[in-house]
Chain A
Amino acid sequence: MPSTSLALTPGLGSFLKSLKTHPVETSIENLISLLKRRQIRHSRSCATATAYLLRHVVSVCKTSDPLKLIERVQTVGRRLVAAQPREMVVGNVVRRVLGLIRDEAEDDHEAEFALSEAGSESQPQTPRAFDDPSPSLPLDRDMLSLRAEGAERSSSRPTLHSMFSLLSHPEAEFSPISTPGTQSPNGRMPGHGPGKDVKAEVLEGIGEIIDELGQVDDQIASYALEHIHSNEIILTHTSSTTVQKFLVKAATKRKFTVIHAESFPNNHEATHATVSGNPLDDDENLSTEAFQKPLIALGITVILIPDSAVFALMSRVNKVILGTHSVLANGGLVAAAGTRVIARAAKVHQTPVVVVSGVYKLSPVYPFDFDSLIEYGDASKVLPYEDGDLVDQIDVQNPIYDYVPAELVDLYITNLGGHAPSYLYRIVSDHYRKEDISF
């Protein structure tokens, strides 16, 4: 995973390296400044850096009281999010970790509860079974068990946040889940035995998140053959590793045509590199995944087009496959500038739009203000500073992202499978705890 040799330029590689040697506080400051300076960008790099940092934070945390852990992760998370609020994956990873700690704390509690209640019923529940997913399992199984866990969880806390909360008993002692924080200190035995367990399992859980981040693209790609058929014409946009892997996977079995819009001016160089298979040297993405056989080497016809030709060609396109920066709770997405134009054109031509995205990009944040999600980039890419006379007189804007409303997307493919945009809220509620949404 972290195998970048570029230690000189600050970025994900150097950060991961420094993590082992530097004290936590320095590492946190380090990541904050990297995020602020945009030296770590791309959803996955940010997510990976955050996950590693949090693992470090939790592992050096002296306490093993889940309450304190949550507090600690929350403060670190808040600082990271404040550093770069538009990188929503940072917040997502923090929420996942918070959820992990809460789950472990509750399982602990539940186990105690079950112990005290033991004998009354044959087998009330088996919370422990989910606690130790053996690390030797192949990841697909792991994911399955994770999903099962999620489903189990949501069903095992039946009335917590539901409409019943209106009528529930004021001191709802039968639902310890609702207030694990306030319950755990007095509910737990003074011994620190179970507490230690929690920390180890949280670390293991973070390890799983990191694994997931590493394998997300391959999992998404495994759905490729269901969605790309022979002789189809696929339109895609900008250079996204996820999309590229998806297409390459399909290309191993099928023959189809890819039309690639170049996404000038922010990402056209990377797009050209992806199409031609000559990776850029300064690609700060994790290097292992940038180097792969280009589609043309697999015998796929790839047509590179300027963004302005999208509408003209759309009538011939069978399917649009898009990568994304992050996905929001309402099913809308924030993606590279130009995506909305493509999605809109596809809508006009009734062409299906498929968005491929890892679950880690799925944010529980509701987009209150679409404009605030858009980041503006280097204006000199549109109007070079060599044109000195003009620079003073023209207001140049170069948005990096677009907001694409949910109704322009037909299908999301995540590492869990294909989902309709209206179903995304369910995945959100499976992955994040309600109490963590605004941590």
Chain B
Amino acid sequence: MATTTEGTAAAGSKPFDIVATYNELLRSDPDITMPIAAIEALVHVLTHSPSSTISETLDLLEKSTAHLKRSIPNPIGLSAGTDLFQRYLITTLQRPGQLGPAGDFKAIRTHLLSNGRLFIRRAKESRQKIAAFGRGFIRDGCTVLTNGGSRAVASLLQKAADEEGGPSAVRFRVIYVLSSISQNIEEPSGEPEGMETVRALRAKGVPVSTIPESAVAYALGKADMVIVGAEGVVENGGIVSRMGTYQIGLLAKAIGKPFYVVAESHKFVRLFPLGQYDLPIEQHVVDFKSADDIAEDKKKQQNPSGDANGDKPIELPLSDSVDFTPPHLISALITDSGVLTPSAVSEELIKIWF
């Protein structure tokens, strides 16, 4: 994306570029989530700076976080990671103990710097934990409807499918809702998100049916439950997720099927959206245009020298657009700290913030 590279250029004066690191982390490891990539990026920031005092470090973190958030079109997921990192630092410093105020600041610094790999491993393990918690939901003979490319959902379904050492593999079927908008901008005719999971499940002997988004209401009658992933879980227990999740939630509620969300607890983010249009991102899903506007757009496209946005937040491409599913549509959240009701999310957040 042109805008991202520009953000990179702006930060080019600095010896270390957090945005590039963040993007590189996401690209290099397909299993990594946005919050974890953000935490990793912050760890790299600390490594590259010689800060030795607490306030210097916190200030540096704050600045890098703000810069990172400005340069990424959808900062909801990553802000969960940066918040968690910052709160962890502050809380550990306040707590008595070896890493506390009496102790050496260097101790906590080295802990954070040397254990970056560990965090990533834990984050991946948490997916396994979720799969263990969530396994109980998938019963013999049931049909699960799911969407998007959530890795947590994929690992949950695969775990249920290859429970070979266990009592017996669960025989279940999956209805996979595939997005009509291709994920890859470079090749618009490429396969939609989630096909990889579909193939993996089919290889494990799970019958999978793929349906377009328009067939959700039709297919929901055959499903026993809906399981979706989330990009971020907000304070009231609602989720920010791939565009199309909200309507599945509404339909599931209307038809009376349970709607479960699978999310790692590091995706909990301190955000309280009141509705669809209250998210801190810029996306033009609903874009009114008259013939004149289209003509003007075309002209702009032909000579794109015009106003490259300076301070304006970066627009989210249509393929990455998200919506907000309010908590009353969610039956339960399957997280690595157990199966939670939506109202329990705020408490987890309160625990780290206050």
Contacts and interface: CB of A to CB of B under 8 A. Distances in A.
Nearest to A168: B88
B125 to A, nearest CB: 10
Interface stretch (A3-11, A154-162, A208-216, A232-240): A154-162
B240 interface: no
Nearest to A370: B258
Contacts of B341: 329-331, 422, 425
A164 B84 contact: yes
Give the most central of A164, A165, A329: most B CB within 10 Å.
A164
A331 B268 CA distance: 22
Interface string B93-127: 00111111000000000011001001100110010
Given A329-B339, A422-B343, A368 B39 contact: no
Given A167-B84, A423-B343, A159 B348 contact: no
Nearest to A437: B338
B127 to A, nearest CB: 12
Nearest to A369: B139
Interface in A165-198: 165-170, 173-174
Contacts of B123: 166
Contacts of B339: 329-330, 366
B297 interface: no
B136 interface: yes
Contacts of B95: 158-159, 174
A312 interface: no
A328 to B, nearest CB: 11
A22 interface: no
Contacts of B139: 368-369
Nearest to A424: B341
B137 interface: yes
A164 B86 CA distance: 11
B10 interface: no
A174 B349 CA distance: 22
Contacts of B88: 164, 167-168
B340 interface: yes
B136 A368 contact: yes
B47 interface: no
A161 B344 contact: no
Contacts of B342: 422
A164 B352 contact: yes
**What is the interface of chain A mostly: helix, strand, loop, or mixed?**
loop
B246 interface: no
Contact of B126 (A166, A329, A423, A425): A166
Given A161-B337, A368-B139, A425-B343, A166 B266 contact: yes
A141 interface: no
A412 to B, nearest CB: 14
Contact of B97 (A174, A331, A366): A174
Nearest to B108: A169
Contacts of A62: none
Interface in B76-101: 84-85, 87-88, 91, 95-100
B332 A366 contact: yes
A434 interface: yes
A329 B136 CA distance: 15
A137 interface: no
B351 interface: yes
Interface string A125-167: 0000000000000000000000000000000001101111111
A158 B331 CA distance: 27
Interface residues of A, number: 27
A163 B84 contact: yes
Interface string A339-373: 00000000000000000000000000010110000
A366 B332 CA distance: 10
Interface in B308-343: 331-332, 337-343
A174 B136 CA distance: 34
B265 interface: yes
Contacts of B91: 158-159, 164
A310 to B, nearest CB: 21
Nearest to B265: A163
B347 interface: yes
A179 B351 CA distance: 20
A425 B340 contact: yes
A161 B338 CA distance: 10
Contacts of B348: 162-163
Interface string A427-439: 0000000100100
B338 to A, nearest CB: 7
A171 to B, nearest CB: 10
A27 to B, nearest CB: 31
A159 B351 contact: yes
Nearest to A364: B338
Name the residue in B84, B123, B351 with the highest tally of chain A Cβ atoms < 10 Å from its Cβ. B351
A56 B104 CA distance: 50
A331 B342 CA distance: 12
Nearest to A173: B98
A244 B256 CA distance: 34
A162 B352 contact: yes
Contacts of A161: 337
Contacts of A167: 39, 84-85, 88, 112, 119
A169 B351 contact: no
Given A369-B139, A434-B338, A437-B338, A166 B97 contact: no
Given A169-B111, A423-B343, A163 B137 contact: no
Contact of A163 (B96, B100, B266): B266
A166 B122 contact: yes
Nearest to B256: A405
A57 to B, nearest CB: 28
Contacts of A330: 331-332, 339, 341
A434 to B, nearest CB: 7
A331 B339 CA distance: 13
A347 B88 CA distance: 45
Given A167-B39, A330-B331, A174 B99 contact: yes
Interface in B136-171: 136-137, 139
11 contacts: A162-B337, A162-B352, A164-B87, A165-B337, A166-B123, A174-B97, A174-B99, A422-B343, A425-B341, A434-B337, A437-B338
Interface of A: 124, 158-159, 161-170, 173-174, 329-331, 366, 368-369, 422-423, 425-426, 434, 437
Which A-B residue pairs are the 4 nearest by beta carbons?
A174-B97, A368-B136, A422-B343, A366-B339
Interface of B: 39, 84-85, 87-88, 91, 95-100, 111-112, 115, 118-119, 122-123, 126, 136-137, 139, 265-266, 268, 331-332, 337-344, 347-349, 351-352
Given A162-B351, A165-B337, A173-B97, 16 more contacts: A124-B96, A158-B351, A162-B348, A163-B348, A163-B351, A163-B352, A166-B122, A167-B88, A169-B99, A170-B118, A330-B331, A369-B136, A422-B342, A425-B341, A426-B347, A437-B338
